[in-house]
Structure 1
């Protein structure tokens, strides 16, 4: 027994018990309100009860005889003792109380008294519906702001989040007052059942009144529901929440229009938006005589909504949905133009695509959409499901169309770049196959299909290269140029890279990353124009040489903005010590270069970011570095202590063991070691310690943080300045790095 059936059965058992406790008390009724009143009693729900009486002087005796056994049973109780007049007076000024009474149900006692309270509460709600609906709408908006979207969060609050159970309850309350919510009894129950079932099992498993479906509990809940894994559970939860959120948004728009009255509504003649499509009273609608066999109709309706920002009238998509109006095996030019118009419309495309999705039209238009629909991405780096991310990427790409010669290819590539994520294996490889098939079906030319495939194949190339490779190395630039092929494709790929990152999340497109991508694109464009790449510098720049001279054989640190320069006597492990002290001060290294200088000196350049948002304490850093170099700072112990504190506040990362790869073709003069590991204080220090253990020197380093994971890339050579070309030594390196990382926080 699950979901609604469990809740009703649970409520029924509690009803029987309370009836026995209540006995026969005249002029009194025990009334369940809120969730218990609806019969929606989850395993750890509170019992919301009102003891209603007709002015009995001994009512406190009756109340004590009820409340104490409930408390003794360990049940959570929200209780009050009121006359009908008193209960209505409180409900007249308190939204929560008013909502609770809308679900009032007599459990025991005087049925007429309970019915009187319920009837008068509903009458009052309807009589003052203008005030209550405005208050309820404001409360819904504030709750959404606080708890976020159930559909897109990794650990959603099934009750309070946008698209959660509270939204269903709010719509039911609104429906008591106004009759402007179509399909509420047809669409909502199935979606509500999904969330209610997950909530019930979560509380049964944990034994606690929990509504937040945390990562650690998702697999267990999925197992209890007979689902193969947590992904299957969360995909169902996301789809249900999206339906509820979409219904809620549509309903509150209608309610707002109702509250504004005739004066607030747009009354005008139809504005024609294309064949069979009109803007009518602020909504996009399908004309009565429209050709429902027109395969472009649904897309043109959505495009009109996206470009105008107007919502789609329900019938505007119900009618095409009921017919066969979807593009054929080979799309017409009109269908393709409508798709491009939709995707280039900007932010309005999100709501329009969601409307297509909720009416089942999106997967009919593009069957390959089904596997990515409502599919969560298991890291905090991504804020959206795969399908929503693709639409958001198209929205971001639409803002960049003036940078490219083919806006249509840009937005379609953005719409398809992660389409392979709905399948097992390498999502890019699968995406290439799907994109070729889809683009051909959409009616693009063979040349355009090739361009779209190239964009999908390399949609990560610029970002990963910029964040993980040495951009001063000619090999880096030449490899990207060879992959891209021409400047037109490069411009498309650069715009796609930016759109993809911005659609991923705020942390995915920082000024630092934007600058690196721009630097890479500029260098690659030069090569594609026929220029030779600039040679890699072999000695420190003049400003660094000057700082080495100022150090005069000692230790000098110079910080300006996010750039830190350390000049010191050359010694094994200098990079390691600097990385450790930076970690101790909460400073993340973004990029670093190490140089040997004249007179037995070394100069290292670091670009850093304050992980906690404060201003770096550079004098304190300098003092700690001096102590670390002199051996007076217990750096290892201090980093362990800080790592433990950081981990306790941040929570579990959910990542597996570190992975280490070594590539000897990415650079002419160094081996590139890439390490993926869980983010923690001291990670870079410990990787550098592993290099020190094996007598390897770091020439260049880049660090990328992806949610709870870091991807660190190092250009390393041995003490003779050579690459690591011995398989046994590479295995030793991998083992040493994993060993050092296993000691983080221990």
Structure 2
């Protein structure tokens, strides 16, 4: 029901009340006569209506509303394209419509919003667009309240299918009903958000007008420059040549210029003039490349081109993904919003501001690029074929090749762009799912990359892509893996190839480096421990860590925890006598302590003991650092090493709609490792999943040699490196049986870890 705040006042009291209260002024703007003759209501309007406000009242009201407008948007993530948006308060929501109407009515003193059309302050298309968008959001919000049985403005995943059905959306050959509903929803939201941005800028300009003594500079074709702002002084001259719709963005990138709100409105008004003839124009395509090559405001220009409708018409393939959302929890934004955000991440790397993530390597490499425009084109097309059916990477490669030819790029430039689009997922997959300590994996990936230039471009595209997926998708651990792979491949490419002889030299060099750090009394003990460590574990740990580890191995068994704030995780090292299901019990103990595993490595020592390493975080994706929690966890792990069986963990019995919709997929990942068997598991993420799978492997008398763990929203994508009890790679029969066993263990029904 409605939230009522009743009050009884005379017209005189009302006038005093609204004088300095923006909320009361807003209520007056929205006031309606419900019943009665209306004499008192008319008197209130005659004495208190916005048409009678003083200039001070107008300015103060608009300043407060603009500040409130910005605060609300920031609190909602400052984007209109979250996949679980707030229909009322998010950017592009109902509150944006109301705010722009309030600002217009207050500043210009009109009694109703529609009268703004007659005064020429907005045109019919702009006003009707607001109204259509508002009406669709009203229907959506009403449906939400009916489904929830209460006031709930969050368009949650579980409501989306039912709401699509309620609003009579149907499945098509390529898209589900919910995807079609979300497409229409986001198109309406985008239209509201874009117009709201332009009008908010307009009112800021009205409150702080340009200095009168500044001269206006003629830029030609109806465009002019005043006080650093590009505007349109002659609308007729500007509209006479459609190429001006591209040229104005080139002008706005020069020096320290920006476009004012009037220019953006005029560009939006004539955006339909971008037609097939303009798209094949050499001059227009050359200007578009000039925009991408500019050292400043590439992301801003593309975003404004998108908001005004120019980008979607100049690049029709991009226009088709506008408003396209994906029904999952990993992708937080629509495809077009994600793409523009990824380009903004690259801008941030170039400037080194750290607005999104702090990654000096990416900033350094971004400054090295000789052809940054190729990276921007690749990012524009990397997800452009989503929603069209088939492999979006392959389809995107085809579409990007056509666009590159249209731009007049060389075969070499076109080859780089299409390669980046086709293989834009491979770097992330290799870094997170493959054994990066395996020289053959690095050598294979290096051969695939081919040269350092492609490595740099693919690295930057991948980091920007992952960062732009949504808040929290980028972690320090991913940064570590991506950097580790970059340096490994860079070294491999520089050396030409990795050979077994080289590996033996690296092991000898690593051991010598460790021994050089030892004091005289430590060398013998450390040398003995180094002899016990396997070659893989010797190369895995850096020398400083390896030295400390060798000192720890002097004890028969134990657990060691080290907080690594820079990488955002806590390192857990456990060593001791091996026994059946030990790895499963260790993972169950970590899960029982409410921690999340980022990675796991298992090694066999030459003296019969095992050495397991885990990288863990708390449930907020931060390093586990509280001293009491660290001490308790260390004791529990040492108890397990001593033979204690961990307490059974009960996983939540309920699963949300996205988890239930996610099928379990288990497959042999042959390319991920050469000497051992790699099994990839895709399943709904839940507490204890890693321990369930580890126990399933142990029950078949196989050993886990390591695991790479990644989580994407509700989806867990884990890779387990497995051998038989003799340390050998599994044969095809063993692999098939293990896959079937893991499929059963990973299902949501298996909601309790058996510790026996």
Give me the TM-score of the superposition, normalised by structure 1: 0.81
| CA deviation after TM superposition for structure 1 residue 632, in Å | 4.2
**Partner Cα distance (1:293, 1:121) in 2:** 46
| CA deviation after TM superposition for structure 1 residue 282, in Å | 4.2
Q: 2:535 aligns with which of 516, 538, 541?
A: 538
Task: Say whether residues 1:89 and 2:13 are aligned partners.
Answer: no
**Partner Cα distance (2:584, 2:209) in 1:** 69
Aligned counterparts, 1:152-231, within 5 A: 152-179=81-108, 181-183=121-123, 184-228=126-170, 229-231=177-179
**Partner Cα distance (2:139, 2:469) in 1:** 30
Task: Say whether residues 1:317 and 2:246 are aligned partners.
Answer: no
Task: Point out where structure 1 has 5 or more consecutive residues left out of the alignment.
Answer: 1-43, 47-75
In structure 2, what is the equivalent of residue 285 of structure 1?
231
Q: 1:413–1:217: structure 2 CA closer, same or farther, 3 Å change rule?
A: same
Contact 1:150–1:241 (Cα < 8 Å) also in 2? no
| CA deviation after TM superposition for structure 1 residue 444, in Å | 1.3
Task: Say whether residues 1:550 and 2:499 are aligned partners.
Answer: no
Q: 1:519–1:358: structure 2 CA closer, same or farther, 3 Å change rule?
A: closer
**Partner Cα distance (1:533, 1:360) in 2:** 51
| CA deviation after TM superposition for structure 1 residue 469, in Å | 0.7
SS at match of 2:579: coil
In structure 1, what is the equivalent of residue 608 of structure 2?
600
Contact 2:289–2:373 (Cα < 8 Å) also in 1? yes
Task: Say whether residues 1:615 and 2:618 are aligned partners.
Answer: no
**Partner Cα distance (2:37, 2:450) in 1:** 83
In structure 2, what is the equivalent of residue 407 of structure 1?
372
Aligned counterparts, 1:619-658, within 5 A: 619-630=631-642, 632=644, 634-636=646-648, 639-640=649-650, 643-644=651-652, 653=659, 655-658=661-664
Q: 1:547–1:110: structure 2 CA closer, same or farther, 3 Å change rule?
A: same
Task: Say whether residues 1:684 and 2:690 are aligned partners.
Answer: yes
Q: 1:339–1:226: structure 2 CA closer, same or farther, 3 Å change rule?
A: same
Q: Point out the more displaced range, 726-735 or 598-607.
A: 726-735
Task: Say whether residues 1:384 and 2:326 are aligned partners.
Answer: no
Task: Say whether residues 1:724 and 2:730 are aligned partners.
Answer: yes
Q: 1:240 aligns with which of 185, 188, 195?
A: 188
Contact 1:577–1:628 (Cα < 8 Å) also in 2? yes
| CA deviation after TM superposition for structure 1 residue 367, in Å | 1.0
Task: Say whether residues 1:118 and 2:118 are aligned partners.
Answer: no
In structure 2, what is the equivalent of residue 66 of structure 1?
none
Contact 1:416–1:435 (Cα < 8 Å) also in 2? yes
Contact 2:216–2:224 (Cα < 8 Å) also in 1? no
Q: 1:373 aligns with which of 299, 322, 325?
A: 322
**Partner Cα distance (1:509, 1:620) in 2:** 29
SS at match of 2:597: strand
| CA deviation after TM superposition for structure 1 residue 238, in Å | 1.6
**Partner Cα distance (2:99, 2:408) in 1:** 45
| CA deviation after TM superposition for structure 1 residue 380, in Å | 4.1
Q: 1:331–1:683: structure 2 CA closer, same or farther, 3 Å change rule?
A: farther
Aligned counterparts, 1:442-461, within 5 A: 442-461=407-426
| CA deviation after TM superposition for structure 1 residue 418, in Å | 1.1
Contact 2:553–2:575 (Cα < 8 Å) also in 1? no
Aligned counterparts, 1:292-331, within 5 A: 296-306=243-253, 308=256, 310-312=258-260, 313-314=263-264, 316-318=266-268, 321=271, 323=273, 328=278, 330-331=280-281
Q: 1:608–1:534: structure 2 CA closer, same or farther, 3 Å change rule?
A: farther
SS at match of 1:714: strand
| CA deviation after TM superposition for structure 1 residue 666, in Å | 3.0
Q: 1:347–1:514: structure 2 CA closer, same or farther, 3 Å change rule?
A: farther
Task: Point out where structure 2 has 5 or more consecutive residues left out of the alignment.
Answer: 109-115, 171-176, 351-362, 504-533, 539-545, 565-569
Contact 1:306–1:342 (Cα < 8 Å) also in 2? yes
In structure 1, what is the equivalent of residue 203 of structure 2?
255
**Partner Cα distance (1:261, 1:328) in 2:** 35
In structure 1, what is the equivalent of residue 27 of structure 2?
100
In structure 2, what is the equivalent of residue 70 of structure 1?
none
Q: Point out the more displaced range, 711-720 or 83-92.
A: 83-92
Count how many residue pairs are aligned between Structure 1 and Structure 2: 663
Q: Deviations over 1:448-482 (max 9, x none)?
A: 22211111111111111111111111231132223
Contact 1:580–1:682 (Cα < 8 Å) also in 2? yes
Q: 1:244–1:654: structure 2 CA closer, same or farther, 3 Å change rule?
A: farther
**Partner Cα distance (2:52, 2:391) in 1:** 55
| CA deviation after TM superposition for structure 1 residue 547, in Å | 4.7
Q: 1:100–1:342: structure 2 CA closer, same or farther, 3 Å change rule?
A: same
Q: 1:491–1:732: structure 2 CA closer, same or farther, 3 Å change rule?
A: closer
Contact 1:105–1:118 (Cα < 8 Å) also in 2? no
SS at match of 2:159: helix
**Partner Cα distance (2:396, 2:22) in 1:** 50
| CA deviation after TM superposition for structure 1 residue 236, in Å | 1.8
Give me the TM-score of the superposition, normalised by structure 2: 0.80
Contact 1:558–1:564 (Cα < 8 Å) also in 2? yes
**Partner Cα distance (2:284, 2:71) in 1:** 40
| CA deviation after TM superposition for structure 1 residue 266, in Å | 8.1
Contact 1:152–1:385 (Cα < 8 Å) also in 2? yes
In structure 2, what is the equivalent of residue 267 of structure 1?
214
Q: 1:248–1:545: structure 2 CA closer, same or farther, 3 Å change rule?
A: closer
**Partner Cα distance (1:618, 1:186) in 2:** 60
**Partner Cα distance (1:301, 1:719) in 2:** 69
| CA deviation after TM superposition for structure 1 residue 567, in Å | 0.9
In structure 2, what is the equivalent of residue 669 of structure 1?
675
In structure 1, what is the equivalent of residue 385 of structure 2?
420
Contact 2:379–2:461 (Cα < 8 Å) also in 1? yes
Q: 1:524 aligns with which of 486, 489, 509?
A: 489
Q: Deviations over 1:510-530 (max 9, x none)?
A: 332223222222222333345
| CA deviation after TM superposition for structure 1 residue 684, in Å | 1.0
Task: Say whether residues 1:591 and 2:602 are aligned partners.
Answer: no
**Partner Cα distance (2:657, 2:442) in 1:** 39
**Partner Cα distance (2:464, 2:741) in 1:** 38
Q: 2:68 aligns with which of 123, 127, 139?
A: 139
Q: 1:148–1:88: structure 2 CA closer, same or farther, 3 Å change rule?
A: farther
**Partner Cα distance (2:406, 2:728) in 1:** 51
SS at match of 1:504: coil
Q: Deviations over 1:550-574 (max 9, x none)?
A: 223x334353533221111012222
| CA deviation after TM superposition for structure 1 residue 173, in Å | 1.5
**Partner Cα distance (2:708, 2:230) in 1:** 50
In structure 2, what is the equivalent of residue 693 of structure 1?
699
SS at match of 1:157: coil
**Partner Cα distance (1:345, 1:510) in 2:** 30
**Partner Cα distance (1:716, 1:624) in 2:** 26
**Partner Cα distance (2:147, 2:472) in 1:** 34
Greater RCO structure (CA 8 Å; 6+ sep): 2
Q: Deviations over 1:131-150 (max 9, x none)?
A: 21122222222222223457
SS at match of 1:374: coil
